Amino acid sequence: MTTPLVEQLRYARSELVRGLNDLPPDDAEAHVGPANSISWAIAHLAWQEQRYWLQRLDGRTLVPELDRDFCFGCPQTTPSLDDAWSMWRQVTDAADPVLDRLTEADLMTQPVVDGRPVGTTIGSLMLRTIYHYWFHLGESMGFRQALGHRRLAQFVGDIDTQAPYRR
């Protein structure tokens, strides 16, 4: 059975998709002040998921350009919206089987990279990823409002059905 924390990550992902529904590519690729674009944020979230779930837990890199162009501290780039979603879907689809194998006990362990622990637990990495999704979703919704978008997704969606609290 999938752990509750993995369900929450999947819910955060679904809220990103819901919040960015009907986003015009030109607006997704626009910059509001010095901030990165919404399309960059999508690719950046794919970078984090690849880094944590595919590289650290499964020893593979599926989309090398994520490490080069969308890491924390990388020079600013602006992918097309289609490219950003494509990379995101590729990584999240590949990460899902890795996440499905995680147990509650696994969440308390440290991933090991090149024979060394990374210094935090898999569960803490999961929380960091969930909060990262909410951070960029909120930022993106603010950008959409600044760009004049109306009828945007409101608050948190159907968490009671899709990802209710459970032990």
Mean pLDDT by 10 residues, the chain (167 residues): 94 96 95 90 98 96 97 92 98 98 96 84 96 96 91 82 82
| The total number of structural domains that make up the chain | 1
Structural domain boundaries enclosing 52 = 4-162
Q: Which pLDDT score is estimated for 23? A: 95
| pTM, to two decimals | 0.94
Determine, yes or no, domain membership for 83.
yes
Tokens, residue 71: 């890491």
User: According to DSSP H, which parts of 50-79 are helical?
Assistant: 57-58, 64-69
| Single-letter amino acid code for the residue at 150 | R
- Within-domain flag for 10: yes
Q: Is there a domain that residue 167 lies in?
A: no
Give burial (CB, 10 Å; 0-12/13-18/19+) of 117.
Answer: exposed
For residue 62, tell me if it sits in a domain: yes
Q: Are strands 112-113 and 116-117 parallel, antiparallel or unpaired?
A: antiparallel
Which residues are within 8 A (CB) of 43 and not within 5 positions of it... i.e. 6 or more apart? 66, 69, 70, 79, 83, 84, 87, 88
CATH number at residue 35: 1.20.120.450
